[in-house]
Amino acid sequence: MKVIGIKKPLDKEFLSHIEDLVDSDAVNEMKKVIHHGKTTTFEHCLNVSYYNYLICKKLGLDARAAARGGLLHDLFLYDWHTVTLADGHALQHAKRARANAEKYFDITPLERDIIEKHMFPLTFALPKHRESFVTTLTDKYCGALEVITHRWGKIRGKKG
């Protein structure tokens, strides 16, 4: 498994925090759907999960919950490119991901907050925990990095 912007092998403690999730059918479903550019929803969630883990560990926060919540934060399980604006994906998908996370896994209240509040401030639901605030930042950072990397690859491809 690879994380965008990270060259070193992934931390073993991180992998132990998410191994049951990575082995599950629900999380593997996210490999079938493109999220941004060429990045699948699984890859995006893994990126967010790892940055969450690194930052929260450094800050002395709950790095395990940050890793697990990060991995499940976009578990909405459909291709959002195919839904209409009226479906309200942008505002509703965090709640859908939280509902799926609760359906398939035994999540903690902190993990639930991380998943449900990750779209703040677009959605007004204020995160209750510092780990959730971290996720609002890593989600946007990873999303931007994924799009830029994809566009940059396209530009380089055209030049070459």
Rank residues 35 and 129 by Cβ distance to Fe ion and give the closer one.
35
Rank residues 110 and 119 by Cβ distance to Fe ion and give the closer one.
119
Q: Dihedral of the CA atoms 121, 108, 129, 134 (nearest 10)?
A: -60
Widest Cα–Cα separation across the chain: 50
Residue from 74, 113, 116, 146 in contact with Fe ion (CB under 5 A) = 74
- Residue 43 as a binder of Fe ion (CB under 5 A): the answer is no
The window from 26-34, 55-63, 105-113, 131-139 that contacts Fe ion (CB under 5 A) reads: 131-139
* Other CB atoms within 10 A of residue 40 CB: 15
Whole-number minimum distance, CB 160 to Fe ion, in Å?
31
**3-state SS class at 40:** strand
- Residue 139 as a binder of Fe ion (CB under 5 A): the answer is yes
CA 6 – CA 123 distance, rounded (Å): 30
The window from 17-25, 49-57, 133-141, 149-157 that contacts Fe ion (CB under 5 A) reads: 133-141
CA 16 – CA 87 distance, rounded (Å): 36
Positions touching Fe ion (CB under 5 A) are: 74, 139
